[in-house]
Structure 1
Amino acid sequence: MNQISTISIFLLLLFSQCYSRSKENSKYSFPESYALEQMVKINLSQDLEEISGLEWINETVLWAIEDESSIIFEINSQTGKIIRKQKFAKNKDIEDILMVDEEAWVLQSNGNIYQVENPFTEYSNTTIYDFEIKGKRDFEAIIKVKNEPEILIFCKVCSWDKNASQASVYSFNLDSMAFDEKASFVLENKQLKDILKEEDFKEVKMQPSAIALHPIENRYYMLSSSDKWLMVLDTELKPLGFYHLNPRFFKQPEGIAFGQDGTMFISNEANDGNPNLLIFQYHP
């Protein structure tokens, strides 16, 4: 093989690889206010191998929970180091966490909610509120409705939903301390028809894993770990934006939280590696 042929083959292979990578990257997107290339990645302790929920507390502190231990972890938001931790119940499948009036509210996959008063103190006390609807169910996301005495929990996979194209949302009232008996809302992939092409939105699996309220935009940001997407919704749960996430960076995104300045935190479970925390500065 002469030198010209060798160079030609090399250039062809290089072009093919670049084209393939460009084509792959074109499938993925990210909100314009956040730069993926400026992401800061922090590896977390193996104690958080199955980190499944995040909550922003202040400029230096996040709360986190992981699937199996029923422990609330307080971690440094800049280093990822565990500051302290506290067990709040017997080991259960725990999926998400939020803070309401200095108390921790934790979601179990079966829909039960744990109210943890005075966390990280000797006076800590846990009350369980049972989700009464029977049937196969897997809840993974919880959020407090702004300015309302209401918590919403989101089905990832529930037997009463028709299929992966929809996800039921249930309400817990903080005045009556009780769940509504019927779903307050149903998310459906057909609600994305004004955002995505038909052949795309019909393929979306509506399986939310985490949700947080953006403090500046006043919009919900919702993650799916199973279908690798990030969705932006208004406060009425109407989809406004949809982004397919690159699994190179988002191997198993299970938690999301925002700082008051709009800094976005996303956590990934280990998934045969290290659990990590991804930090994105807000650039509106």
Structure 2
Amino acid sequence: MKNPTILTTMALGLASAIFLACNPNNTAKENNNKLAHVQAEKPQQIPYTLSSGIKMSLPDELLEISGIAFLAGQDEDIYAIQDEQGFLYKFNQPTQKVTFNPFGKDGDYEDISISNTHFFILKSNGSIYSFPIAEKDDIKNVVEQKNLLPKGEYEGLFVDRESNQAYVLCKECKVDRKQPQTSGYVFSIDEHGQFQLKGEFAIQLDQLQAFDAKIKKTFKPSALAKKADSKEWYILSSVDKALVVTDENFRVKSLSPLDPKIFPQPEGINFDSKFNLYISSEAGNQDKGIIYKFEQK
């Protein structure tokens, strides 16, 4: 007679094999759950230390700074807007001085971006204001483009110079009330700076919740910028006090919390030609608007 211990082991092994054969998805589901858990616990590390940047305090004119941008290859001057007046500001980093030129009436202006030919400024209702780069010091020919976007509140605009496409991201839009996502829209840009709708994209809420369970209903972005060397999107949410990084197709790769003592109201984000990261913050409870520069590691 064979050893009973061996027979018992063989019987258990056979039973396990039959169970797995009848339930082929169990192991895959378990592995997928483990993988998702690991990804949420160990997100990709961004190449910046957000707790230690170069701080630039801004003059009173930019107390409510809401967007920042650079001309291609010109890193010394940061172009900015604020969300109360229709002025284009230029902040020179070496001298810390600000100059400005009017482009429109008072209004709720939320973001700024620059193509190879034009400046573009986003109003919270989705209207886009544009004018040629050549007029930046004496702005005359401003074009307002209305009804480009569904009704909603918008704070994020970025122009990808390589593709000559503009990306606009909802902060809070009616279309997202019944689905767990934050919607965005892609526009082609013609030689006159006119936008034409080309497509749509979305950031999925469940991907964000894998990194931060506190994001319950909607993600409310305040700015976005594309890091050209990695093709990743860096997306700010002032409400959620978070910096989200996605891949080129807006799939979430990481979420970094933002210290409210450093970023009281983060509203603007961009990169210079060396891929240093800049984040601007409205004053909030502080007495100055701020821009932080984070050098790439």
TM-score range, shorter chain: 0.7 to 0.9
Shift of 1:178: 4.0
1:62 equivalent in alignment to 2:78: yes
Tell me: CA distance 1:32–1:148, structure 2 relative to 1, closer, same or farther (3 Å). Answer: closer
Letter in 2 for 1:217: S
Tell me: CA distance 1:165–1:226, structure 2 relative to 1, closer, same or farther (3 Å). Answer: farther
Question: Of the candidates 76, 82, 93, which is equivalent to residue 77 of structure 1?
Answer: 93
Quote the Cα distance in structure 1 between the aligned partners of 2:80 and 2:179.
Answer: 27
Shift of 1:59: 2.2
CA contact (8 A) 1:42 1:79 kept: no
Quote the Cα distance in structure 1 between the aligned partners of 2:178 and 2:265.
Answer: 22
Aligned to 2:227: 214
Deviations 1:114-168 (A, max 9, x none): 1112333346310111125564x11000112353232111110112221695322
Alignment identity in percent? 28
Aligned to 2:35: none
Deviations 1:52-78 (A, max 9, x none): 000023121110000010111011134
CA RMSD, 1 decimal: 2.6
TM-score (norm 1): 0.79
Greater fraction helix: 2
TM-score (norm 2): 0.76
Aligned to 1:259: 272
Tell me: CA distance 1:65–1:171, structure 2 relative to 1, closer, same or farther (3 Å). Answer: same
Letter in 1 for 2:52: Q
Shift of 1:179: 4.3
| Pairs aligned (count) | 250
Q: Where does structure 1 lack aligned partners over 5 or more consecutive residues?
A: 1-28
Shift of 1:109: 0.6
Deviations 1:66-96 (A, max 9, x none): 00101110111345421x2111111121000
Partner of 2:176, secondary structure, is coil
Shift of 1:201: 6.5
Letter in 1 for 2:137: T
Letter in 1 for 2:50: L
Task: Please say which structure displays the higher CA radius of gyration.
Answer: 2
Letter in 1 for 2:296: Y
1:128 equivalent in alignment to 2:144: yes
Quote the Cα distance in structure 2 between the aligned partners of 1:270 and 1:69.
Answer: 16
Quote the Cα distance in structure 2 between the aligned partners of 1:174 and 1:247.
Answer: 36
Letter in 2 for 1:97: I
CA contact (8 A) 1:96 1:107 kept: yes
Shift of 1:272: 2.6
Tell me: CA distance 1:127–1:101, structure 2 relative to 1, closer, same or farther (3 Å). Answer: same
CA contact (8 A) 1:103 1:119 kept: no
